[in-house]
Chain A
Amino acid sequence: MARYPKPPEGSWTEHFGLDTAPVSYADSVSPEYYERERQAIFRRAWLNVGRVEQLPRKGSYFTKELAVVNTSVVVVRGMDGEIRAFHNVCRHRGNKLVWNEAPEEETQGFCRQFTCKYHAWRYGLDGSLTFIQQEGEFFDVDKDQFGLVAVHCEIWAGFIFVNVAREPEQSLRDFLGPMITALECYPFDQMTSRFGYRTEVKANWKLFMDAFAEFYHAPVLHSKQSPDKYSAAAREAGYEAPHYQVDGPHRLVSTSGVRFWEMDPSSLKPMENLTRGGLFGPWDKPDLGELPAGVNPGKCNPWGLDSFQLFPNFVILIWGQGWYLTYHYWPTSYNTHIFEGNVYFTPATNVRERIAQEMSAVTFKEFALQDANTLEATQLMLESGYVERFPLNDQEVLLRHLHKVVADWVNEPAGVPA
């Protein structure tokens, strides 16, 4: 007997018009398929590269390495306050323009102009070429024709997106669609206390998307994270999500909440009781006022979290306890990717709040390390090729959706699939 009602079709999978047959992971083990994803998805979709708080003032900049589309971009707040993105390449001889110690490493900082390390060509923050060393030696170079090459850059809710297509097929807002844009008024801008994590994972990028798109694994893989009493009850209960939703290429799972502070202390870790924090976040939540209708759209009560997966490789996970996480999965080959996780809280006003946040951030990492470990093992065995069909249950509906959307884009290289 299902704990939560299923849609009229009898399952979420059928409700979204998805196939219920076992799936193939051929899309995650093939260098050729990965090349098609690079062209058909990553060169066409809007990609989130950061937040406006990373560019606090005029002249603030950061670089982002986008191996998946074979470029590096520099994102900068100009003297007019506008945020722009450029291919990070000098127009003179192609040197990488902005980098610090090592050219392949991302950097950030503040400047009045960009100066190439090679021959000191200079560019304004709006990309215009302002100075050529020994200009008289050149042959009628029109500086207006040799500014930095712009990358399409749009901002939604403080999230900075770029699109490397010559002309994006959709505006960012159209691409995000109503389910995502309904989050617009969430107070992301108040949550400026950031814990950033990064690692390289030896697995296809979609496998880690999959890992965080279902919670069926949680009572099993993470059972040793909790006292036995809690783990045993969790495993017995299994996992069901109260709400799933898809909108275009994007998808959502919401989970129900757990009121840890009302639980028997023997079901909790002693440090959770002492710090009043844990996996679900600080127990004492900040006053955020009324949240936009896009948050918890399934009206789950108690509500735990919303995990919004934005196509192709970006997740915004909003916790009922008043904080949020982002995940980015940046492919570097068919079987490797860079994972970035960021944990955002409202700034702690005292040590007590800071400790609850620390407990939450540390616990996040303990869980994520278990999640990351299974991926390399999965990738290895998928690549063995001996098994080709894998059954997915209804709690894994969002995995089917991701792989289907990927296939739709790859198979329709012209025009965004309806």
Chain B
Amino acid sequence: MSPLLPPEFADLEPYAGQWCLATEAERFERRMASDMDEMGAFYAAFSPRLEEAIEFCDKYPLDELPDDVAHPLQLIHSLVMVSMAVEVFHQPKIVDAADAVLLRVREPRP
């Protein structure tokens, strides 16, 4: 299978299959289905590279991102999602939210 990420981020490729997800709905679902070890490892590996990833993506106009740049952006979106579990709640679910649901039904792309 060809890599999802550009060579600059080859070390993050092990996380790409799991976390290159185009919508918040998919990212939220993946967070809920993941354990803290998986998310902790992804967070630890990627958060020090975030600034570099933003700069890499920002070499291209936002509305014309090539596929291999869209994937790093999706990975950044996933990092934001995962950070809620890792930094805030120390569990996948939101503390004190019980079974409340709020679906993101519309979002800007990418």
Contacts and interface: CB of A to CB of B under 8 A. Distances in A.
Given A195-B107, A196-B105, A373-B98, A275 B80 contact: yes
Given A274-B50, A352-B58, A377-B98, 19 more contacts: A194-B107, A197-B102, A197-B105, A199-B100, A199-B103, A224-B89, A224-B96, A271-B80, A341-B102, A355-B77, A359-B80, A361-B24, A361-B107, A372-B97, A372-B100, A373-B96, A373-B97, A374-B96, A376-B100
Given A195-B106, A195-B108, A365-B104, A270 B83 contact: yes
Interface in B59-104: 62, 73, 76-77, 79-81, 83-84, 87-89, 94-104
B18 to A, nearest CB: 18
Interface residues of B, number: 35
B47 interface: yes
Given A270-B83, A351-B76, A352-B54, A196 B94 contact: no
B22 interface: no
Given A274-B50, A352-B58, A366-B94, A269 B83 contact: yes
A363 B81 CA distance: 9
A362 B24 contact: yes
13 contacts: A199-B102, A199-B103, A224-B89, A271-B87, A351-B58, A354-B110, A355-B54, A355-B80, A359-B80, A363-B84, A368-B102, A369-B102, A377-B98
Contacts of A271: 47, 79-80, 83, 87
Interface of B: 24, 47, 50-51, 54, 57-58, 62, 73, 76-77, 79-81, 83-84, 87-89, 94-108, 110
Interface of A: 193-200, 221, 224-226, 269-271, 274-275, 339, 341-342, 347-352, 354-355, 357-359, 361-363, 365-366, 368-370, 372-374, 376-377
A85 B24 CA distance: 32
A363 B88 CA distance: 11
A197 B103 contact: yes
